[in-house]
Amino acid sequence: MQCHVCRSDSVKAELDAGSHPVSTFFAPSKDTTEANYPLVMAQCTNCGVIQLTKPVPHTALVPPYDWLFAREPEEHLDMVVDQLMALPGISKDSVIVGLTSKDDTTLDRFRTHGFSSVWRVDVQNDLGVANPCANIETVQRMTEPARMTKIADKRGAADILIVRHIIEHSEDLQAFVQGCAALVKPGGYIMVELPDCTTSLEKNDYAMIWEEHSLYFVPETFDGVTAYGGFEKLRTDVYPLPFENCIVEIAQKTGEPSIPRPNAAGKATVGQLSTYAAAFPKITGGLKVGLTKWRDEKGPIALFGAGHLACAFVNFHDCGDLIDFVADDTPQKQGLFLPGAKLPIVPSSELVDRGVTLALLALSIQNEDNVIARNTAFTDAGGQFASVFAASSRSVRDLFDLQS
Ligand SMILES: [Zn+2]
């Protein structure tokens, strides 16, 4: 296969995580037939970028529900907006543009600072997509030069374009970055934010793998990618977070588009995926042994949080038959089943009612303390919380004495 980034043919498949349904397709019943998509991870030996061998097509990813939302980290945004406002040529008259709904909170910060020419690409009006469930998966595919040039002509090209947590979803990276470039004035800027896969790769955490992400960058392999749009990097910062750090690049549109050139640091990451892949059977086996033993000796086990991270844990490690249900208080999820494992989704009060002894947290690590504080009835009854994440201080891997 060809590398989705540097176009070389030297991409090596290393990890087959199996075929799984899309995590947003909560099943109405245990008997619901699901469409499965193979998740095979590969690394390019030329540029080092880790990628799915076959990105799941965006048409398969449009969720069947309109009540889903994604929350991205925000703590660093004030600082980033300060950096953007201080760029040469930027004033309160500058045009600030966002690509998706994930950019709204950044755009709001510019408005608060007195910027008045602020707009965002609208899925319905600009892209002509009528389906109210369409989101990131659709915008990434529709971001290409011809369409974005028309939108920029109509609404005003950007002095600064904000592009948060979508580039890693690109099915066609070149078209995507060039589409972004078409929204930006010559000499204008782009702010691109994406997850940094370093921690997951180092800790052998497989929750990183997600059918919505076609690309898995680390700072070394992301360096130079925006050259596809004629951008020249001004700065890259990595903002630390417990599960996945955020990479933020600020770049200026100074030249003509070119194919990103592999760099030495990116090439030096080659081998990262094979190490990660080699640990997969050991982690899966250890988790199954630990869960089986716990269940036999102590009692029922539940997952806490019905999202794609719970799907990744239970489906990739094939441990659905060792878990009784998923606790999640989202009203719309009640009575539905977790994709793949088909575990019933029930309110968190069931943890006590059904005598659960171990609840595996599968929400973001930053939320773990809050969830535990809200569920004292469970811990008072003798229940224990652990986290599915290797990077959590309460990781289930420590509970089972599993080395990462
Ligand atoms: Zn490559």
Note the residue count of the chain: 404
Contact present, 301 and 291 (Cβ < 8 Å): yes
Domain ranges of the chain: 54-261, 285-399
Percent of the chain at pLDDT > 90 equals 93
CA dihedral for 385, 330, 343, 71, sign (positive or negative): negative
* Pair of tokens at residue 361: 């947290």
Q: How far is the CA of 270 from the centre of ligand 1 (A)?
A: 10
Question: Cα 165 to chain center, whole Å?
Answer: 7
Strands (E), 36-85: 37-44, 50-52
* Pair of tokens at residue 124: 């319905």
Do the domains 285-399 and 54-261 match in fold? yes
Contact present, 377 and 323 (Cβ < 8 Å): no
**Has residue 403 got a pLDDT over 80?**
no
Percent of the chain at pLDDT > 70 equals 100
The pLDDT of residue 280: 97
Q: How far is the CA of 252 from the centre of ligand 1 (A)?
A: 23
Q: How far is the CA of 5 from the centre of ligand 1 (A)?
A: 5
Q: How far is the CA of 6 from the centre of ligand 1 (A)?
A: 4
What value does the mean pLDDT of the chain take?
96
Q: Which residues pair with 236 in a beta bridge?
A: 249
Choose among 247, 237, 206, 274: nearest CA to 43: 274
Q: pLDDT digit string (tens) for 314-348?
A: 999 999 999 999 999 999 999 999 999 999 999 99
Query: Region 230-258: what's the mean pLDDT?
Result: 94
| 343 vs 300: CA distance, rounded Å | 13
Contact present, 123 and 135 (Cβ < 8 Å): yes
pTM over 0.85: yes
Quickly state the pLDDT bin for 1 (edges 50, 70, 90).
confident
Q: How far is the CA of 214 from the centre of ligand 1 (A)?
A: 13
Cβ neighbours for 31, distance < 8 A, ≥ 6 positions apart: none
**Has residue 404 got a pLDDT over 70?**
no
| Candidates 3.40.50.150, 3.40.50.10860, 3.40.630.30, 3.40.630.180; CATH matching 54-261 | 3.40.50.150
Place of tokens 């947003």: 24
Q: How far is the CA of 285 from the centre of ligand 1 (A)?
A: 32
Q: How far is the CA of 226 from the centre of ligand 1 (A)?
A: 14
Q: pLDDT digit string (tens) for 27-77?
A: 999 999 999 999 999 999 999 999 999 999 999 999 999 888 777 789 999
Q: pLDDT digit string (tens) for 91-136?
A: 999 999 999 999 999 999 999 999 999 999 999 999 999 999 999 9
- Its CATH architecture, for the domain 285-399, is 3-Layer(aba) Sandwich (3.40)
Q: How far is the CA of 207 from the centre of ligand 1 (A)?
A: 23
The CA distances from residue 278 to 361, 402, 404, in Å, are 25, 15, 11
Query: Region 352-357: what's the mean pLDDT?
Result: 97
Place of tokens 């997951």: 200
The pLDDT of residue 400: 95
The pLDDT of residue 68: 85
Q: How far is the CA of 221 from the centre of ligand 1 (A)?
A: 9
Residue 207's identity, in one-letter code, is: A
Strands (E), 179-324: 184-196, 215-216, 231-239, 245-253, 301-304
Q: How far is the CA of 256 from the centre of ligand 1 (A)?
A: 20
Contact present, 310 and 338 (Cβ < 8 Å): yes
* Pair of tokens at residue 14: 């290393």
Q: pLDDT digit string (tens) for 140-189?
A: 999 999 999 999 999 999 999 999 999 999 999 999 999 999 999 999 99
- Please state which of the ranges 260-264, 326-330, 347-351, 395-399 shows the lowest mean pLDDT: 260-264
Q: How far is the CA of 139 from the centre of ligand 1 (A)?
A: 24
- The conformational region for residue 71 under phi > 0 = left, psi -120 to 50 = alpha, else beta, is beta
Q: CA angle at residue 71 from 65 to 77, to 5 degrees?
A: 150
